[in-house]
């Protein structure tokens, strides 16, 4: 599925997926013959992480690929492009803790919106953390597209994010892992902190509730 001005290309196999960053206007909507001829001289076998695509009817578009793509491969993925030229590699860096938290949350939210399989969420997260500058541009734009707003300072989870929600019933309550009736049916989409919480597959934070929010069990002990 393609998004414009920001695009996210996915293929059937995760190892051949392409993460696109921003669409960067670099010229007029038409490409002159001399520039196309010069760009066409790019070695067919040269692989690059970043490419600048040129079109006849719209502005040029910068895309980033993971893994690197050759000239032939990038044009195959973008059949409407007249030409493509490799761009110098951007200096990559390690994301800050706040950026890593935001990227994990963005990938998780967008993956849920597009119904990505678990393995796709995992490798998309790895790719985003490997290139935080490009990934933040891409995934923030996709979040706007889907109307996703992340409460990054809110560590609560919903029951829909817990594997112990079976149908409408809470398996943690049935097992007496939390203080509730055994037939407890929670409101599933309300954010909360629960000592019986267990993350669903695809959640990068694999800690159960009693580890995420240790204060819950401590407070419970204080009341006993």
| 64 shares a domain with 133 | no
| 75 shares a domain with 22 | yes
| 80 shares a domain with 102 | no
Within a domain: 152: no
| 75 shares a domain with 40 | yes
Within a domain: 206: yes
- 184: Cα within 13 Å, side-chain hemisphere: 20
Within a domain: 72: yes
| 82 shares a domain with 12 | yes
Q: Is the pLDDT of residue 169 over 90?
A: yes
The residue out of 62, 86, 110 marking a domain boundary is 86
Mean pLDDT score of the chain, rounded to an integer? 76
Within a domain: 204: yes
Residue pLDDT, tens place only, 52-69: 899 998 888 888 777 788
**Residue 173 binned pLDDT confidence (cut-offs 50, 70, 90):** very high
| 69 shares a domain with 50 | yes
| 102 shares a domain with 82 | no
Within a domain: 151: no
Query: For residue 52, what are the domain limits?
Result: 8-86
Within a domain: 154: no
| 60 shares a domain with 26 | yes
| 12 shares a domain with 75 | yes
Contact 27, 59 (CB under 8 A): yes
**Residue 159 binned pLDDT confidence (cut-offs 50, 70, 90):** very high
| 133 shares a domain with 166 | no
DSSP symbols for 106-121: HHHHHHHHHT--HHHH
Q: How many domains does the chain have?
A: 3
Within a domain: 178: yes
The residue out of 146, 167, 186 marking a domain boundary is 146
Residue pLDDT, tens place only, 99-144: 888 898 899 889 888 988 888 888 889 888 988 888 888 898 888 8
The residue out of 86, 107, 130 marking a domain boundary is 86
| 69 shares a domain with 102 | no
- What is the C-alpha separation between 98 and 127, in angstroms, rounded? 17
**HEC assignment per residue over 122-174:** HHHHHHHHHCHHHHHHHHHHHHHHHCCCCCCCCCCECHHHECCEECCEEHHHH
Q: Is the peptide bond before 62 cis (omega within 30 degrees of 0)?
A: no
Within a domain: 167: yes
| 14 shares a domain with 73 | yes
**Residue 149 binned pLDDT confidence (cut-offs 50, 70, 90):** confident
């Amino acid at each position: 599925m393609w998004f414009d001005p920001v695009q996210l290309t996915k293929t059937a196999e995760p190892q051949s997926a392409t993460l696109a960053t921003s669409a960067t206007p670099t010229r007029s909507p038409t490409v002159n013959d001399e520039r196309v001829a010069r760009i066409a001289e790019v070695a067919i076998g040269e692989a690059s992480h970043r490419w600048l695509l040129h079109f006849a009817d719209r502005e040029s578009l910068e895309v980033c690929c993971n893994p690197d793509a050759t000239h032939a491969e990038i044009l195959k993925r973008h059949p409407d492009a007249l030409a493509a030229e490799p761009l110098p590699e951007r200096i990559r860096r390690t994301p800050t803790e706040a950026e890593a938290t935001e990227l994990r949350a963005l990938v998780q939210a967008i993956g849920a919106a597009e119904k990505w399989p678990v393995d796709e969420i995992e490798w998309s997260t790895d790719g985003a953390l490997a290139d935080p500058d490009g990934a933040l541009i891409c995934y923030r734009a996709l979040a706007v597209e889907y109307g996703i707003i992340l409460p990054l300072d809110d560590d609560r989870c919903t029951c829909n994010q817990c594997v112990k929600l079976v149908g409408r019933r809470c398996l943690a309550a049935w097992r007496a892992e939390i203080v509730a009736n055994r037939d407890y049916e929670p409101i599933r989409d309300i954010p909360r902190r629960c000592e019986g919480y267990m993350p669903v597959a695809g959640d990068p934070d694999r800690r159960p509730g009693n580890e995420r929010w240790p204060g819950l069990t401590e407070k419970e002990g204080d009341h006993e």
